[in-house]
Copies of this chain bind each other. A is one copy, B any other.
Amino acid sequence: MTDDAGTAPRRAGRPLEMVLSRARITAAALALITTEGYGGFTMSSLARTLKVAPSALYNHVSSKQEVLQWLEDHVMTMVDVSGFGSEPWDDAMRRWAWSYRDVFARHSPLVPLVAVLPVTGAPETLKMYETVAVGLGGAGVPVETIIPAIVAVESFIFGSALDANAPADIFDTGELAGSSPTFTAAVLGQDRSTGERPADVAFRFGLEALLAAVPATRPGRPA
């Protein structure tokens, strides 16, 4: 059980202090990670940022893992769901998916967490799922296909968020080119004419494939 981002007290008797804690700790964690990166993020550095003793911090949150879960849920509010209800369903999905990938490419250490985090501990994440589910339902997607479609697109987004951080030379075969002639030719034969990053070309390819398979009955964007 966790509180819902600060709108309800967790326990009687200490309302105000507890009310603010999740939001304040999460904001401090985000500020710290934005300047120092995930590598420098520890409970001690977080306590220093909050100007409290580590023991005081542990009165409010059980572990670094829990802070990261709170942070994951907060980061999810940065994902753009504004297209649902205002755009054709497929454009709304595109806006959501590209923004979701970009946000978690910047916060890739959170990817393994969000992939396994129950929605009851992540109310903002659940809010996002509700918006997407309403969008797909409104597009005429059968109720039994909504979850598989969301999970498939989201799994693709998570993997792509990791891939977006791959070094540009990840597929340069170097001195191993002789033993991998077809793969090496494929790497060299990528279409560079658009100037688009290879990670973006692959993301577009996969996302359009997934959207094409969503059994919507309402029309998407006119071709």
Listed in ascending order, the chain A residues whose CB lies under 8 Å from chain B are 4, 108-109, 111-112, 115-120, 123, 126-127, 129-130, 132-134, 137, 143-160, 162-163, 165-167, 169-176, 179-183, 185-187, 189-191, 198-199, 201-203, 205-206, 208-210, 212-213
Q: How far is the CB of A172 from chain B (nearest CB, A)?
A: 7
Known: A151-B199, A186-B137. A111 touches B209 (CB 8 A): no
Query: Copies of this chain, how many?
Result: 2
Q: How far is the CB of A59 from chain B (nearest CB, A)?
A: 25
Assess the B152–A203 pair: CB atoms within 8 A: yes
Known: A127-B180, A183-B129, A210-B210. A149 touches B115 (CB 8 A): no
Lowest 6 A-B CB distances belong to which pairs?
A152-B206, A155-B159, A209-B213, A158-B159, A151-B202, A159-B159
Q: How far is the CB of A205 from chain B (nearest CB, A)?
A: 5
Assess the B155–A115 pair: CB atoms within 8 A: no
| Chain B residues whose CB sits within 8 angstroms of the CB of A127 once the complex forms | 179-180
